[in-house]
Chains A and B, each alone.
Chain A
Amino acid sequence: MNSLKPLLIRTLQLALVLWAVVTILFLMFRLMPGSPLAAYIDPTFTEEQQEALIRQFGLDKPLWQQYFTYLVNLLKGELGYSFRYRAPVAERIWLLLPNTLILTFSSLIVAYVFGILAGAWLAWRRGSRVEVAALPVVLATRAMPEFWLGMVLLAIFSFSLGWFPAGGTRSAGTEYSSLWALYTSADFLSHLALPMLTLAIYSQGLPLLLMRSNMLDVMKEDFVTMAKVKGLSSYAVVVRHGARNALLPVVTSFAIAVGYQLQGNVVVESVFSWPGLGRELVAAVLASDYPLAQGAFLMIAIVVIAMNLIADLLYTFLDPRISHA
């Protein structure tokens, strides 16, 4: 296959990016004010624990040796020991990752389904009063601080109307036999509703505007004119000929949106006390729990970079017109 080589190059480039980000992370947490031990060792750890960590991360060695130890430990999945939880960071991260992913993907799926339909509809109604009124509104949703939107929804639907709980993932005292039972329970879904809606309202603008402008482009192409000339109904022209072709770049943008969403999650998870990676990152930094902060940052960065790669791959495979020259 001809397209395989550029993809391989791109994958290698992004592996280098990952390495660069990991290095930046190392430098940020080592060059911070305070003792170099502070990144891994809390003074309240027992003597044995401290010594074990010093050995594991080579904290008594020069910086460049620490750096290699750090890389090797990362490859083994060793992220250190959380100060607050007295537990391995990796364990904590794997516990929180599903919550963040559920919030991210559910909100993005809602945002994309709505954005694609509304974008196609607005393109079809081009020049109408609805379209003229809708565009500034859509632009304004992109201009909202996500956490503020969350605060407004929280005040209205939780504190005023009492329809939804104010935060967390489940009511106090509820127990579930498995994670699956938790994630499909009505209780969990009602906790998910408001943060999900917040992120969905913020995110629908991108697919909507993309879909609209792509539709406008596609509708000018010869095959659409041809379909109209053949006397097909406007529905058939818009949906079967227009939308299908306009959809491609929108689908590709999904992967990029996942990366951006993970960053927006940081504030929205904090508003709704959603136990995810973003809120944990903020809490860990505020509490000077540096190993956990590094771990959460790293995990978010890995997902962002992986999504950039997937976007590149989708772009190449879905659209034959694009080639990486």
Chain B
Amino acid sequence: MPETVADTHESGVARIFAAIRLPVGDPFALAGLVIYAVFIVTAICAPYIAPYDPSEILYTADYDLASDLPPGAKGHLLGTTSLGRDIFSQIVWGARSALLVGFTAAFMVAFIGSIVGLLAGYFGGWVDAVLMRLADVAFGIPFLPFVIVISAFSEPSIWNTVIAMGLVLWRDTGRVIRSQVLSLRSRGYVEAARVVGSSDLKIILRHITPNILPLSFLYGSIAIGWAILTEASISFLGFGDPDAISWGFMLQDAFASQALARQAYYWFIPPGLAIILVVSAGFFISRGYENLLFPKLGR
């Protein structure tokens, strides 16, 4: 008997991995996964890749402040900021903030959204009514203003963005997963499990959850982009953590230091491109998932 339990457990894990189905066959998704791989490696190895400490104020050999150096100037691949900080090192370290914010926020959004969708779709009735009215309220909250107010009233930190996203952005995931659960609930094998007396918890975990996991991942991969964009906006508006080097912080620094008027493109173009690259990687992966999950939309 214990063997069969272990057996079903193992096949359960295997099934979850099979269910996530990384969409490597799709060229879009493959490109996205490659970008993510580079991004994650950069974030983890930041101290080894970056030539300087990103917030260190640097001096030239003749003890002048190494400020506003153009790209290619001795040892500075992308130049330096007005305060004499190395732009390339900031880009590399910025990957770390982006990774932290992106993945934790995406996890929160996908996790909360999936739980809400599962409960609302499976139990229906008043549970459904309450959760869906909560989703309506979340849809009625202007997201960015909400994050601004939260950030202004708490200690400046990148986690404000994550918390605000967890509080508000589960709404899209929750609604989609709910409607998916509604259709799964009436499938034959779920009915069968109910007839043989499986508990609600067991049906949800064993028969329904594996089937909604790809959708959770789809919305999670979109949420990574949203989180990075939101954190960038918040930092740009001056509500970010001044001690954390993020791409949004770099843009705010450039904007406030008149980099636009001085046409210091080398300063504010790279952080923007870094954001675009990572956020579109999430979109590419989600497109791959969509083709996989809803083949009708594709070719």
Measuring CB to CB, which residues of chain A are less than 8 angstroms from any residue of chain B? 13-14, 16-18, 20-21, 24, 28, 32-33, 136, 139-140, 142-149, 151-152, 154-155, 159-160, 213, 217, 259, 262-264, 266-267, 270-271, 278, 281-282, 285-286, 293, 296-297, 300-301, 304-305, 308
Contacts and interface: CB of A to CB of B under 8 A. Distances in A.
Given A140-B276, A145-B232, A270-B237, 18 more contacts: A13-B136, A21-B141, A136-B284, A142-B280, A143-B229, A143-B276, A144-B272, A144-B275, A144-B279, A147-B251, A152-B268, A159-B260, A266-B145, A271-B255, A285-B148, A286-B238, A301-B140, A301-B142
B152 interface: yes
Contact of B142 (A18, A267, A282, A297): A297
Nearest to A308: B139
30 contacts: A14-B140, A17-B136, A17-B137, A17-B139, A21-B137, A24-B141, A28-B153, A32-B153, A136-B28, A143-B225, A143-B279, A143-B280, A143-B282, A144-B279, A145-B251, A151-B251, A151-B272, A155-B260, A155-B265, A159-B260, A217-B296, A263-B143, A263-B144, A263-B145, A267-B233, A270-B237, A281-B148, A285-B152, A286-B152, A300-B145
A308 B140 contact: yes
Nearest to A147: B236
A297 B142 CA distance: 8
Contacts of A159: 260-261, 263
Nearest to A305: B140
Contacts of A281: 145, 148
Interface string B227-249: 00100110011110000000010
A285 B149 contact: yes
A266 B237 CA distance: 9
Nearest to B283: A139
Interface of B: 28, 133, 136-137, 139-146, 148-150, 152-153, 225, 229, 232-233, 236-239, 248, 251, 254-255, 260-261, 263, 265, 268-269, 271-272, 275-276, 279-280, 282-284, 287, 296-297
Contacts of A264: 144
Choose among B150, B260, B284 the residue with the greatest number of A CB atoms under 10 Å from its CB. Answer: B260
Nearest to B236: A147
A23 to B, nearest CB: 9
User: Would you call the interface of chain A mostly helix, strand, loop, or mixed?
Assistant: helix
Contacts of A278: 145
A264 B153 CA distance: 21
B263 to A, nearest CB: 6
Contacts of A145: 229, 232-233, 236, 248, 251, 272, 275
A266 B232 CA distance: 13
Contacts of A271: 255
A266 B144 contact: yes
B237 A143 contact: no
A71 to B, nearest CB: 17
Contacts of B238: 282, 286
Contacts of A267: 144, 233, 236-237
Contacts of A13: 133, 136
The 4 closest A-B CB pairs, nearest first, are A143-B279, A148-B272, A143-B280, A17-B140
Contacts of B297: 213
Contacts of B260: 151, 154-155, 159
A148 B139 contact: no
Contacts of B153: 28, 32-33
Contacts of A300: 142, 145
Nearest to B265: A155
A152 B260 CA distance: 8
Contact of A20 (B137, B144, B237, B248): B137
Contacts of A308: 139-140
Contacts of A155: 260, 263, 265, 268
Contacts of B265: 155
Nearest to A301: B142
A14 B141 CA distance: 12
B150 to A, nearest CB: 8
B220 to A, nearest CB: 16
A140 B280 contact: yes
Contact of B140 (A21, A144, A146, A149): A21
A179 B146 CA distance: 31
B251 A20 contact: no
